[in-house]
Amino acid sequence: MFCKNCGTQINDDAKFCNNCGTNISIGNNTNTLNNEQIQNNNAYNDSQYSNQNYLNFNVKNFYIKIKGFKSGLDSTYNWLQYGSFLVPIILAFIVEFIFGEANFGFFILLAIAALIIITVLNPKGIFIDLINKQIISNKNMKFNFLKEKVNIDEIKEIKIEKYSVPFILGYNIFDLLLSSRKFDNVSLINDKGERILSTQFVKKGNVNEYIDALKNMCNILNRNDIVFTIDNEVKRGFECLKKHEENNNNN
């Protein structure tokens, strides 16, 4: 290395310059301190960056899959499933009428395959986006008209209800073959008392996961004003849920 005062080349372990006597260790100590400070600052910045990434990952990670086929409510998604099954069956009768015969076994298999494909391509689920403060119903569905968005700022109450619908209220063969009449309903309610989003859960684990996610949402966003209400009365009809549909149509 070289002396900063006179430029004379000196040994790396020297403490004083052989030519002018300048103390070399002071400069080195200062450089060492500066390097340590830079390293500490870099470590702090890296830690802050990692923590921010960790936070962003967590707040985007509330997604609840909804499993099970629920009976009784005329939702667009249910009708899409019905249509995917019925269209091949109707097509089979048309083919028979035109050509005098049809392979009904093939069309039944086609109908089942269509129902499965529609269901797989449009998975039911709830996504809670804390960055944009939105709750998106059916976010991963391919058809946008099946999705619903709710602004978290509008939510004033979260109501949990139980339903056990009598068989007599079933209105088509899908109620008999595929669906469950017992389910939990979670409604998000605004300051006017309107149900701005209602979601039904056949599986008990799904509804518990959703409620836990909503509680975490309230804690992270400091929304202690949102009230959780549990209605223990088992309801036998769809009047409340149909009111939710009417509110959506009016909006």
Q: Does the residue 49 lie in any domain? A: no
- Residue 123: partners with Cβ closer than 8 Å, 6 or more residues away: 65, 138, 140, 141
Q: Largest Cα–Cα distance in the chain? A: 114
Instruction: Tell whether pTM > 0.75.
Output: no
Q: Does the residue 54 lie in any domain? A: no
CB 159 within 8 A of CB 123: no
Gap between the Cα atoms of 217 and 135, Å rounded: 10
pLDDT at residue 94, rounded to an integer: 92
pLDDT at residue 31, rounded to an integer: 47
Please indicate, yes or no, whether residues 85 and 37 belong to a single structural domain of this protein: no
Please indicate, yes or no, whether residues 5 and 69 belong to a single structural domain of this protein: no
Q: Does the residue 60 lie in any domain? A: no
Please indicate, yes or no, whether residues 30 and 135 belong to a single structural domain of this protein: no
What's the pLDDT tens digit per position in 28-73?
444 443 455 545 444 444 444 444 444 444 455 588 888 765 555 5
Please indicate, yes or no, whether residues 26 and 84 belong to a single structural domain of this protein: no
| Token pair recorded at residue 22 | 């300048």
Please indicate, yes or no, whether residues 39 and 115 belong to a single structural domain of this protein: no
Please indicate, yes or no, whether residues 238 and 152 belong to a single structural domain of this protein: yes
Which of 11-20, 34-43, 120-129 has the largest mean confidence?
120-129
DSSP state of 70: B
Gap between the Cα atoms of 214 and 228, Å rounded: 10
Q: Does the residue 57 lie in any domain? A: no
Residue 18's domain comprises 1-44
CB 156 within 8 A of CB 190: yes
- Domains: count for the chain: 2
Please indicate, yes or no, whether residues 25 and 147 belong to a single structural domain of this protein: no
What's the pLDDT tens digit per position in 135-179?
998 888 888 888 889 999 999 999 999 988 766 555 555 544 455
Please indicate, yes or no, whether residues 98 and 12 belong to a single structural domain of this protein: no
Please indicate, yes or no, whether residues 162 and 238 belong to a single structural domain of this protein: yes
Say if residue 47 is exposed, middle or buried (CB neighbours under 10 Å; 0-12, 13-18, 19+). exposed
* DSSP state letters, 151-211: EGGG--EEEEEEEE--GGG--SHHHHHT-BSEEEEEEEE-TTS-EEEEEEESSHHHHHHHH
Q: Does the residue 56 lie in any domain? A: no
Per-residue pLDDT at 80 exceeds 50:
yes
What's the pLDDT tens digit per position in 189-248?
999 999 999 888 888 788 899 999 999 999 999 999 999 999 989 887 766 666 554 455
CA dihedral 12, 16, 19, 22 (to 10 degrees): 120
Confidence of residue 26 (pLDDT cuts 50, 70, 90): very low
Please indicate, yes or no, whether residues 91 and 1 belong to a single structural domain of this protein: no
